[in-house]
Amino acid sequence: MVYPGSFKKLVEVLCRFPGVGPKTAQRLAFYLLGLSRDDVVAIARAMVEAKDKLGFCPLCGCLSELDSCSYCNDAGRDQSILLIVQEARDVLVMERTGQYRGLYHVLHGALSPLDGIGPEELKLDRLEKRIAEKEVSEVIIATNPNVEGDATAGYLARLLKPYSVRVTRIAFGLPVGGDIEYADDLTLSRALDGRREM
């Protein structure tokens, strides 16, 4: 296929985006060409600006503006509860619930020797320091419900034992608004295990 030079370059760049293949890339490229110059510049600016101004908070690991973390510096949040998640994007999901008003701690991964991730890569000393220094009374572990997430949760629970904080893990179970009839066997048995008194 013969592409004009800069078009080819654009398609190749767009191809690098996750989930974008050559066909989608070509479509996006045509879309960009159809926009006014100002609009294209605005898009490019937004990218550069995001790259320049955003980063991970050195304290909690959340995605934040470089100068101030919108979670750590929010006085309205309950400073005594800490929710531990694997990825920064998990924080956004938790925030969407509007339920949780405590602080976060992002591990940026889970224990997985095959991927080269051990306790050091998760920078757990940072978490320990945080718990030791601040008045944290409860730590909620919300790692993924798979082998690596479970191993990480177990490890954290044992690590935090000396700190006299309450360590909990979020419940597994049925999706809200669904029918029990349609739940898979596994989810249902996990939900049974995690039943609670009324």
Partner 1 sequence: MFYLEGLHLKGFRNYHNQQLHFHPRLNLVIGENAQGKTNLLESIYYLSVTRSFRTNRDNELANFEDRYFYVKGNFVKDDFKHIIQLSYRLNEQLKVSVNRKQEDRFAHLQHFPVIVFSPDDLQIIKDGPAIRRRFLNLEGSRLNPLYFEDLKNYQRSLMQRNYLLKEKRNHLKIREYLEPWDYKLAELGSSIINSRLILIKALEKEARLFFDRMTGSLEELTLRYSSTVDFNNNPETTRNNFLNALSKKRDVELKKGSTMIGPHLDDLKVMINGFDSRRFSSQGQKRTAALALKMAEVSLFKLRNDESPIILLDDVFSEFDNSRKMHLLEFLKETAGQCFISTATGLNGLVENLQSDYKIITVRYGRAFDETDRFGA
Instruction: Return the residues of window 62-121 that contact partner 1 according to CB under 8 A.
Output: 111-114, 118-120
Long-range contacts of 92-95 (CB under 8 A, 24+ apart): 92/63, 94/142
Region from 52-60, 72-80, 149-157, 172-180 binding partner 1, contact rule CB under 8 A: 149-157
In the list 35, 41, 54, 147, the residue contacting partner 1 (rule: CB under 8 A) is 147
Q: Quick one: 20 or 157, whose CB is closer to partner 1?
A: 157
Phi then psi for residue 72, to 5 deg, are -65, -35
Binding mask 115-134 for partner 1 (x = CB under 8 A): ---xxx--------------
Long-range contacts of 38-45 (CB under 8 A, 24+ apart): none
User: SS3 string of 95-154?
Assistant: HHHCCCCEEEEECCCCCEHHHCECCCCCCHHHHHHHHHHCCCCEEEEECCCCHHHHHHHH
Using CA atoms, how far residue 122 sits from 26, 37, 80, 109, 198, in Å, is: 38, 43, 22, 7, 38
| 11 near partner 1, judged by CB under 8 A | no
Tell me the closest approach of the beta carbon of residue 161 to partner 1, in angstroms.
13
Question: In the set 59, 148, 160, 165, which binds partner 1 (CB under 8 A)?
Answer: 148
Max distance between CA atoms of the chain, in angstroms, equals 68
Q: Is the CB of 56 or the CB of 155 nearer to partner 1?
A: 155
CB of 195 to partner 1, least distance (A): 16
- 186 lies in the binding site for partner 1 (CB under 8 A): yes
Please tell me whether residue 155 binds partner 1 under the rule CB under 8 A: yes
Beta-bridge partners for 142? 85
The residues binding partner 1 (CB under 8 A) are 111-114, 118-120, 146-148, 150-152, 154-155, 158, 185-186, 189
